Structure 1
Amino acid sequence: MSGRSRPRSAFLFSFDNSYARLPQSFHRPARPAAASAPKLIRFNQGLADELGLDVTDTDEGRLAQIFGGQVIPIGAEPLAQAYAGHQFGHFNPQLGDGRALLLGEVIDRAGRRRDIQLKGSGPTAFSRNGDGMAALGPVLREYIVSEAFAALGVPATRALAAVATGEQVVRETMMPGAVFTRVASSHIRVGTFQFFAAQGDEAAVQTLADHVIDRHYPEARDAENPYLAMLIMVAERQARLIARWLSIGFIHGVMNTDNMAISGETIDFGPCAFLDEYDPRKVFSSIDQRGRYAYANQPGIGQWNIARLAECLLPLLDVDEEKAIEAANAVLKAFGDVFQGAWLELFKSKLGLTGEGADDRLLITDFLELMHQGEADFTLTFRALSKVAGGSGDEVLTQQFNAPVSLSDWLSRWRMRIGHGRLPADLQMAMETVNPVLIPRNHRIEEAIAAAIYGDFSNFHRLVDALSQPFAEDPATADLRVPPTPEERVTRTFCGT
């Protein structure tokens, strides 16, 4: 990490840094490393407006200096956050921001507190002999997927900027370096609580819980037990979030406790991927050797992670340990109930089902099983079903299946269930508002990254622009909807650290 001072900029961040005011054990000071030739790749003007940042008179060179970490905005208090975490089930008592630093917090135009974080900006006190840098590929991947999530309406961190540093970083080979500017409701994780609980520091756990309640769950403050109320609310948000992941065919790939945000946002898009053909056992992450974080395992892992959070909070739930454990177990049971309810409602919407049907869950699971048997593309099959609901012929649906299956019986059951007087055009429109036609296809992301490494960012920009309208059937982006050919298929994704 460079020890030289950074110039300060009057760039219009209006910082109010609550995390920096927490005790020193929560964070360490950090400074970005020097970059020889920072160059702006992309700046998210829409998000900047949302955050209340006025960059009208700021040129691209200045933006590159700021978001490449070479100019520290006035009011910023750069720090690396401390946290621990279970990684693939194994506990590490100290992780922390090893390649990221929190510049500070702003209050956006809607009155929400948002973190501004530089990722890949150099080593920190938590780098554990790592270089703290980010390669260009993971930065572009996170930019693409986080903004796609925003357009899909799924809670997630956001991308404010991507900057090429002009430096080379060593991974399997030498790769161009980059810095990603991430915006989040906060970067507090389950692992943040674990960091202090592992040390037996109950006072710090309570301080952190108070901070989380004030920041994310103020309604919990009036509850009989604010800490139990907070745990319930965190669990409910996570259950609904994971149901949303499943509804769009998303596989996070590295659901460690240090990658579960207390705010209920999706965080860390390292080895993530989207399903092409539906397979509940699908794994893409190269480091997930045993399929712990496979598509269908995600709800159970989410519940497991909440159990680890509950363990940290036990002393705050009740002075009687047995009663505290009983309360925590009730939250874990409720997690499953909330997830199942959210999953059912989301998939009912995808199938055009309204009201209550006794066999709705079976109708959904039978369709998914047919998709699995028929190696059907997850995204395009639901979109095709929307068109069938609008009056298109069944062949629009059947052509999505790559292996022979019989859909006639299922379609008869489905038509009987949706036959409640809605006009076909209205039903199709309703289904197409929840069934995207365009997702961040794994092979398209890799295609954009491969070109960008050689200086061509046109595929990256085109993909980001197209994914801002995931439900629109724009002829100009029809090629981006197409599943990969066998030669284009991506079978492994990598975390990029």
Structure 2
Amino acid sequence: MSLKIPFDNTYARLPEGFYARQAPVPVADPALIAFNDALARELGIDGADDARLAAIFAGNDVPDGAEPLAQLYAGHQFGQFNPQLGDGRAILLGEVTDRTGARRDIQLKGSGRTPFSRMGDGRAWLGPVLREYVVSEAMHALGVPTTRALAAVRTGETVLREVPLPGAVLTRVAASHIRVGTFQIFSARQDTDALRALFDYTVARHYPQARDPSELLDVVIERQAKLVAQWMALGFIHGVMNTDNCTLSGETIDYGPCAFMDAYAPDTVFSSIDRFGRYGYAAQADIIVWNMAQLATALVPLMPDESEAIETFTRQIHAMPDLIRAEWLTRFAAKLGITAPRAEDAGLVADLLDLMHAGSSDFTNTFRGLADGTARDEIADRDGFDKWHARWRTRIEDEADPEAAMRAANPAFIPRNHRIEEMIAAAVAGDDAPFHRLNAVLADPFSDQPDAADLRRPPTHDEVVTATFCGT
């Protein structure tokens, strides 16, 4: 059966300096691990047999209408500006308009070398491909704006990292792959024509209401403030919030050394390369402000008066922390069953978090336990919790249905690090069953699912994952 993808590739119609045209590099023996049928239907993609799907989503068979290219961008990586990055192991096959009328990118990750690969091989190994598939789809089910996973394919080839590892390719779907770093590269090059073309394209694709760079900055700031508040309310740590990993669309992108916290600790860092905690859990609110300041800097050349632009953009950036705090309070108040938070509710949230931190309480299970009546079991200081609990019950007396609100805000299931590592180990050994089970359970994270109770359990001492890796 042939596969039909209704491509309409607007990014490929931008000037050649925005990308390098590059076909994916074929692999030896593609074998399909997973294909997201529900997402394919959203995209208007007609199905095919597994062999055909594997060939296309490994990069061996470029479908009709695709215009493969590697996108160019720059970025601040751990605070240091790299003037040229770009897709070093990814190929944008093209774009489709989904059934809601939204335009979506279809991109292969791990599809071979490109002109932007530098010293890399352009490939990905199986572990990070499966991690991104599981975590990005879980984030979607949790209601977080995110890129999606359409397919995962084994390549039948070995990828050399510290040791030989099985290769794989992920197919990622995104609202777009326009990054802060995409603006930065043209601004740094003082290529105002390209910067203007990128601005016009971004506005047309994502924010047609934005009439000038200041209005674009405002709406991107709003999206990013909401996004980071959602991350924090779920105990999610992105791990590598470089400006090249920060999208103008407001989607979570690039699930490298990401992780969900088990025991609550605001200084938690998982990324093996984040030696100073720049991208730790509590630092994310500050870093997104820093990233937006870099976007503002890149937009300055598009404004008619540089001094006025700097003054306007500075005011917008300085207002962002208050916006994040408001979004944070809305998210965390909902986790307590409060639908219309008041300023003083921030103290109620903070006091519970302090109790959790002091006793290394499990973040997800404690909040879920407020609805289930088991939260006290998660807290070491029972007397302290009882006093807090009395205050909390008084606060929610007038809420219509706080239990339902809490169950909608507090998942029973997250992609726990130790379960992901178990899943990867099994897949490397040839067993994909844990991968498929995780995806099935995490597709419905707010339901109790008694048969999957083992996936709610925090790690034992021997199972704790202390570091996560980029690894692709």
Q: In the TM superposition, what is the alpha-carbon distance from 1:11 to its structure 2 partner?
A: 2.4
2:332 to 347, 356, 375: 347
Asked if 1:434 corresponds to 2:409, the answer is yes
Aligned letter for 2:314?
N
- In structure 2, what is the equivalent of residue 456 of structure 1? 431
Matches within 5 A, 1:39-438: 39-55=31-47, 58-221=48-211, 226-317=212-303, 319-388=304-373, 396-402=374-380, 406-420=384-398, 422=400, 426-438=401-413
Pair 1:99–1:321, CA change in 2 (3 A): same
Pair 1:73–1:357, CA change in 2 (3 A): same
Pair 1:357–1:310, CA change in 2 (3 A): closer
Partner SS for 1:487: helix
- In structure 2, what is the equivalent of residue 446 of structure 1? 421
In structure 2, distance between residues paired with 1:213 and 1:10 = 35
Any conservation in 1 of the 2:114–2:122 contact (CA below 8 Å)?
Answer: yes
**For 1:370-391, what per-residue CA distance to the aligned partner results, in whole angstroms no more than 9, with x for missing partners?**
1101111000000111223xxx
Aligned letter for 1:433?
A
Asked if 1:17 corresponds to 2:44, the answer is no
In structure 1, distance between residues paired with 2:453 and 2:468 = 24
Aligned letter for 2:9?
N
Structure 1 vs Structure 2: percent identity of aligned residues?
58
The TM-score normalised by the length of structure 2 is 0.98
In structure 2, distance between residues paired with 1:61 and 1:347 = 46
Aligned letter for 2:128?
P
Any conservation in 1 of the 2:105–2:175 contact (CA below 8 Å)?
Answer: yes
In structure 2, distance between residues paired with 1:94 and 1:404 = 54
In structure 1, distance between residues paired with 2:69 and 2:143 = 30
- In structure 2, what is the equivalent of residue 391 of structure 1? none
In structure 2, distance between residues paired with 1:403 and 1:69 = 55
In structure 1, distance between residues paired with 2:399 and 2:449 = 30
Any conservation in 1 of the 2:123–2:159 contact (CA below 8 Å)?
Answer: yes
Any conservation in 1 of the 2:221–2:320 contact (CA below 8 Å)?
Answer: yes
Any conservation in 2 of the 1:373–1:405 contact (CA below 8 Å)?
Answer: no
Any conservation in 1 of the 2:368–2:411 contact (CA below 8 Å)?
Answer: yes
The TM-score normalised by the length of structure 1 is 0.93
Q: Which runs of 5+ in 1 are unaligned?
A: 1-8, 389-395
Partner SS for 2:402: helix
In structure 2, distance between residues paired with 1:414 and 1:257 = 39
Q: In the TM superposition, what is the alpha-carbon distance from 1:353 to its structure 2 partner?
A: 1.6
Any conservation in 1 of the 2:138–2:442 contact (CA below 8 Å)?
Answer: yes
Partner SS for 1:300: helix
Aligned letter for 2:336?
L
Q: Which runs of 5+ in 2 are unaligned?
A: none
Q: In the TM superposition, what is the alpha-carbon distance from 1:340 to its structure 2 partner?
A: 1.2
**For 1:163-217, what per-residue CA distance to the aligned partner results, in whole angstroms no more than 9, with x for missing partners?**
0000000011000000000000000100001111111111111110100000000
In structure 1, distance between residues paired with 2:266 and 2:39 = 34
Any conservation in 2 of the 1:217–1:230 contact (CA below 8 Å)?
Answer: yes
**For 1:254-299, what per-residue CA distance to the aligned partner results, in whole angstroms no more than 9, with x for missing partners?**
0000000110000000100000010000000000000000100001
Root-mean-square deviation (Å): 1.2
Aligned letter for 1:448?
M
Any conservation in 2 of the 1:370–1:405 contact (CA below 8 Å)?
Answer: no
Aligned letter for 1:315?
P
Pair 1:450–1:204, CA change in 2 (3 A): same
In structure 2, distance between residues paired with 1:381 and 1:207 = 49
Any conservation in 1 of the 2:355–2:381 contact (CA below 8 Å)?
Answer: no
Q: In the TM superposition, what is the alpha-carbon distance from 1:147 to its structure 2 partner?
A: 0.2
Q: In the TM superposition, what is the alpha-carbon distance from 1:367 to its structure 2 partner?
A: 0.9
Partner SS for 1:144: helix
In structure 2, distance between residues paired with 1:200 and 1:354 = 47
Q: In the TM superposition, what is the alpha-carbon distance from 1:54 to its structure 2 partner?
A: 1.0
Any conservation in 2 of the 1:239–1:335 contact (CA below 8 Å)?
Answer: yes
Q: In the TM superposition, what is the alpha-carbon distance from 1:403 to its structure 2 partner?
A: 6.5
In structure 1, distance between residues paired with 2:188 and 2:148 = 31
Any conservation in 1 of the 2:44–2:98 contact (CA below 8 Å)?
Answer: yes
In structure 2, distance between residues paired with 1:172 and 1:311 = 39
In structure 2, distance between residues paired with 1:274 and 1:405 = 28
In structure 2, distance between residues paired with 1:45 and 1:362 = 45
Partner SS for 2:38: helix
Aligned letter for 1:45?
D
2:465 to 460, 476, 490: 490
In structure 2, distance between residues paired with 1:345 and 1:290 = 30
Q: In the TM superposition, what is the alpha-carbon distance from 1:405 to its structure 2 partner?
A: 6.4
Pair 1:259–1:358, CA change in 2 (3 A): closer
Any conservation in 2 of the 1:99–1:122 contact (CA below 8 Å)?
Answer: yes
- In structure 2, what is the equivalent of residue 392 of structure 1? none
In structure 2, distance between residues paired with 1:240 and 1:357 = 18
In structure 1, distance between residues paired with 2:468 and 2:119 = 24
Aligned letter for 2:158?
Q
